[in-house]
Structure 1
Amino acid sequence: MSKLRPAPEPPQPLAPLVDAHTHLDACGAKDAESVRAMVDRAAAVGVGRVVTVADDLAAAQWAVRAAHWDDRVFAAVALHPTRADALDEAARTELTRLAADPRVVAIGETGLDYYWPGKLEGCADIETQIEGFRWHIELAKQVGKPLMIHNREADHDLLTVLLDEGAPETVIFHCFSSGAEMALACVAEGYLLSFSGTVSFKNAHELREAAKLVPDDQFLVETDAPYLTPHPFRGAPNEPYCLPYTMRALAELRDRDPVELAELSTANARRVYGI
């Protein structure tokens, strides 16, 4: 079995930045001390705020605790679409309770994932995912917080469900990975597109073209750590401190000054998350 590459060296600082979507628990943070250490590493390179995101109920409960441990951490709560079959009445009650917490700034990650059904044992089927997605949309509207979307190979159906249900005021496509057509469709609806380390991958041609088309007030940057470590560190563990690598790659792609683009992304994050 191949081993992970060593953790990337800290990048040159780039401020201000907000990591719009990360998973501190999956990065190895367990308690207040380890959360503080992880966020300190990020702050040292300009990443002053992070949104740690849940994909199951235990992670949602942990994310809210983490957001109360450190005032630089905010939370998003939901069940990942592949886990939508766990969205029973007890889970809905608990997620509704968590969503009302003032440290929770988004409902996510929810959405549709058409890649894993049939490949991953225990993965929720498509019908169950759609039902769960509809419930999360209503929760986001109920609590008045942004909806944070996970989309894998489900462009058409995602847009259809959002149109059918009526999208919340703010919709964020986390780790946007589609092409120009989907990007333009999202932009036309006023949705935000959040770019991760994949935008730095030289073989992600369609995504990289799409990233050039998004208006300055409709993009965010994220790590999705510990996943999707930016080039040239693919295969190494990711953490929020790596975000400047992605920001600089996006700035190069858009032919913009990295500091200027960092300021824009942070202004967008502060606006949509209310932080």
Structure 2
Amino acid sequence: MSGESVSGDAKELSAKQIRKRKRREPPPDPEHTRGLVDAHTHLAACGGRTAESVTEILDHAERVGVEQVVTVADDMVDARWAVQAAHWDDRAFAAVGLHPTHAADLDEAARAELNEMVDDDRVVAVGETGLDYYWTVHSESCADPVTQKDAFAWHIDLAKRSGKPLMIHNRDADRDILDVLAAEGAPETVILHCFSGDIEMARECIARGYLLSFSGTVTFVNAAELREAAALTPEDQVLVETDAPFLTPHPYRGQPNQSYCLPYTARGLAEVRGVSPERMAAVLGANARRAYGLPLR
């Protein structure tokens, strides 16, 4: 083998290693943007499994202006963690429910426990619930659509009985999400977490008074239609979230996400909507505090 070939192989390997290392590196701190609330994150999945680790994550977030977070779970185990985290640190609040992919776990014991959890003062929302048709065809363990709809209806009722906002997960199920909400009767506050629908979906949600929560996906290069939806959402119906550790905003897509990255998305929304980052942060923070009933800090 020639020396030139070895050198080429070495360069190729080095480039792969660099890309792999970059994917593991957290993004740098964004510019401080005061007053933000992360409307949807997963502290446990970000490493927040102890009081100390939760405090570390939230200290980091607060240093860049993210003052409060709502931490969410996918299953019953993580729901318990979310409630614990909300008691460990007064900057954290919890949403409890079963992700639609886990809808088959909604047995009598789970219903009883969720009924008890939602009465906790640190629990500010029911969810994330809803419909996910992507995983019904990509995972053998995902709950089927009928089971998902039944669980969604139960969570809608829980939100209405508790008087707490309903946090919705929607993937490839726009029409059915709207139809189930119409059939069951939506609670007073409905939040479309990580909004991903098309313009028509956005318009119908807006007309119904639902809140649209935008994650880092709104900053992705290929998300022009999502930015259009963000631009037309009324000021009092827009939220911002990380969905951490997923959906890290551009230009750090694919790298680890945490609540401290929220200002990148908030500033992206400010640009889309033609307002200053300070104005955008004030609106987003006020909307989240109103929707979830969070105290001022």
**For the residues of structure 2 that align with 1:236 and 1:54, how far apart are their CA atoms?**
21
Instruction: From 40, 50, 58, give the equivalent of 2:59.
Output: 40
**For the residues of structure 2 that align with 1:18 and 1:83, how far apart are their CA atoms?**
27
Instruction: From 217, 237, 243, give the equivalent of 1:198.
Output: 217
Aligned to 1:274: 293
**Aligned partners of 1:194 and 1:219 also within 8 Å:** yes
Give the Å deviation of 1:34. Answer: 0.4
Aligned length: 275
Match of 1:123, SS?
A: coil
Give the Å deviation of 1:30. Answer: 1.0
Instruction: Kindly provide the CA deviation profile for residues 15-39 of structure 1, in whole angstroms up to 9, marking residues without a partner as x.
Output: 1100000000000111000000000
Match of 1:217, SS?
A: helix
Give the Å deviation of 1:254. Answer: 1.0
**For the residues of structure 2 that align with 1:195 and 1:60, how far apart are their CA atoms?**
22
2:37 paired with 1:18: yes
**Which consecutive residues of structure 1, in runs of 5 or more, have no partner in the other structure?**
none
Q: What does residue range 28-177 of structure 1 map to in structure 2 within 5 Å? A: 28-177=47-196
Aligned to 2:235: 216
Aligned to 1:241: 260
Aligned to 2:207: 188
Q: One-letter code of the match for 1:187?
A: I
Instruction: Kindly provide the CA deviation profile for residues 177-210 of structure 1, in whole angstroms up to 9, marking residues without a partner as x.
Output: 1121111100000000000000001101211111
Q: One-letter code of the match for 2:228?
A: E
Give the Å deviation of 1:253. Answer: 1.0
Give the Å deviation of 1:5. Answer: 3.6
Per mean C-alpha deviation after superposition, the further-off stretch among 242-251 and 112-121 is 112-121
**Aligned partners of 1:179 and 1:209 also within 8 Å:** no
Instruction: Kindly provide the CA deviation profile for residues 119-174 of structure 1, in whole angstroms up to 9, marking residues without a partner as x.
Output: 11210000000000000000000110000000001010000000000000000000
* Structure with bigger gyration radius: 2
Quick one: percent identity of the two aligned structures? 64
**For the residues of structure 2 that align with 1:5 and 1:41, how far apart are their CA atoms?**
18
**For the residues of structure 2 that align with 1:244 and 1:56, how far apart are their CA atoms?**
28
**For the residues of structure 2 that align with 1:157 and 1:151, how far apart are their CA atoms?**
9
**Aligned partners of 1:79 and 1:110 also within 8 Å:** yes
Instruction: From 200, 216, 230, give the equivalent of 2:249.
Output: 230
Aligned to 2:46: 27
Instruction: Kindly provide the CA deviation profile for residues 241-274 of structure 1, in whole angstroms up to 9, marking residues without a partner as x.
Output: 0000000111111111111011001111111100
| Structure 2 length-normalised TM | 0.91
Q: One-letter code of the match for 2:242?
A: T
| Structure 1 length-normalised TM | 0.98
**For the residues of structure 1 that align with 2:206 and 2:163, how far apart are their CA atoms?**
21
**Which consecutive residues of structure 2, in runs of 5 or more, have no partner in the other structure?**
1-15
Q: One-letter code of the match for 2:238?
A: F
Of Structure 1 and Structure 2, which has the larger fraction of its residues in helix?
2
Match of 1:19, SS?
A: strand
- How well do the aligned residues superpose, as a CA RMSD in angstroms? 1.0
Aligned to 2:3: none
Instruction: Kindly provide the CA deviation profile for residues 62-120 of structure 1, in whole angstroms up to 9, marking residues without a partner as x.
Output: 10010000000000000000000010000110111111100000001000001110211
Match of 1:206, SS?
A: helix
Q: One-letter code of the match for 1:188?
A: A
